[in-house]
Amino acid sequence: MNKSYRERLRAVLASARVDDPDWWISEIDAYGEPQPMLEMAVFLREAWSPILREDDASWIDNSIAELEGRVGREDLYALRFLPELPEFREALKRIRDSGIDLRDLTNVIRQFQIDTLANVISNLDGGCCYEDGEESNWTLIAIDEDLEPTSSFSDMKDLMWQFDSDRKKE
């Protein structure tokens, strides 16, 4: 990969708010395919964005406020938001007011979120062994206009942790 291409790619990664563009460029050198690495970086960045931070329990008050802001709004379906979800809002209030340590709840929810993300990424790569004993035999691939495979996303599970801000601090 020539210097000009590296500089353009570094600029794209930086504008996509991908941390440590140089690391990703070194991975591209290792894998030899810039396009899927860029796509995987952006996908993983977005996939990690809703995952709770270990040390931030403000999500419960933020969620309650968000749900209360939805009350009576008729435009929510058009905006592709869920309606006010009164049962969920009240459950969040009861949890908040119960006196439990919200950091513990945050930790539990965060782990479920990470496990779900890992399962989605595994499924994109064809999954693993299923309960019926069948193993998958497929993977998500990019194709060109002639329907020819151009790249695979099979390395995404190895790259998954690059966007976990809490893990990076370890």
pLDDT at residue 2, rounded to an integer: 75
pLDDT at residue 17, rounded to an integer: 79
Residues of the chain with pLDDT under 70: 1, 31-35, 76-82, 126-139, 151-155, 168-170
* CA 22 from centroid of its chain's CA atoms: 21
Half-sphere exposure of 70 (CA within 13 A, CB side): 19
Residue pair 83/69 in contact (Cβ under 8 Å)? The answer is: no
Q: Which residue carries 């591209």 as its tokens?
A: 28
Give the separation between CA 47 and CA 32, rounded to whole angstroms.
24
For the chain, the straight-line distance linking the first and the last C-alpha, in angstroms and rounded, comes to 32
Give the separation between CA 94 and CA 86, rounded to whole angstroms.
12
Q: What is the pLDDT of residues 118-149, one digit of tens each?
A: 888 887 776 665 566 666 556 677 777 888 87
pLDDT at residue 127, rounded to an integer: 62
